[in-house]
Amino acid sequence: MNADDKSRDEAVEQELAGVPEELLDKGVEAGGSVGDALAALRNDLETAEQDVLYAKAEVQNVRRRMEREVQDARAYAATGFARDMLTIADNLARAIDAVPAELHDDPRLKSLVVGIEVTQRELEKAFAAHGITRVAAMGLPLDPNQHQAMLEIPSADAEPGTIVQEIQPGYMIRDRLLRPAMVGVAKKPD
């Protein structure tokens, strides 16, 4: 045995100093040398390190997904309640529209009309505070993601596919549709 072999064996011995005897014996029993056992151990260590990295990445992905779901739950928790409130907004608008314009200044109805208008403004303010906005419709092209065409109206003034009547307003909660606007769409006259 020459000096190089001796120094190499000493280096291998130092590397294997912390390895349990059972693992060393297993590698040597399989017909390999101590170097083969060391290579197998290094391979197992690399595999274990990769598994740990993948597990950490998966935990981080799950954490991010859960954070996103919690944010969505907070942002859209009032969706059901908001849909219910839309019928109230519709009824307030109908109540104001039901009073003829000439009776708005009638002293007997003035306080009633003003009360309904104030209630409607407060409801709109509450909607705005919670990210609920009205969908724009009149004069715009039909967008099936925000509008629901209920009828076609012959019109020479508007381009076909343009909204010329809003039957019921639509609403969004942040970037999600609460209710589509029900609209009448222009078509070419017969």
Does the pLDDT of residue 69 top 60, yes or no?
A: yes
127: number of Cβ within 10 Å: 19
Q: Which residue has the tokens 């009638």?
A: 106
pLDDT in tens, 81-106: 889 999 999 999 999 999 888 888 88
Is residue 14's pLDDT more than 70? Answer: no
* pLDDT tens per residue across span 29-38: 555 677 788 8
Q: Which carries the bigger pLDDT value, residue 75 or residue 49?
A: 49
Res. 44: pLDDT tops 60: yes
pLDDT tens per residue across span 109-168: 888 889 999 999 999 999 999 889 999 999 999 999 999 999 999 988 888 889 999 999
pLDDT, position 65: 95
Sign, CA torsion 53/55/58/60: negative
Q: Which residue has the higher pLDDT, 26 or 174?
A: 174
C-alpha closest to that of 137 among 174, 176, 94, 166: 166
- Give how far the C-alpha of residue 68 lies from the chain's centroid of Cα atoms, to the nearest Å: 7
Enter the tokens of residue 61. Answer: 């992905």
At residue 15, the pLDDT reads 64
Closest by CA to 89, choosing from 136, 131, 132, 146, is 132
Determine the pLDDT at residue 118: 95
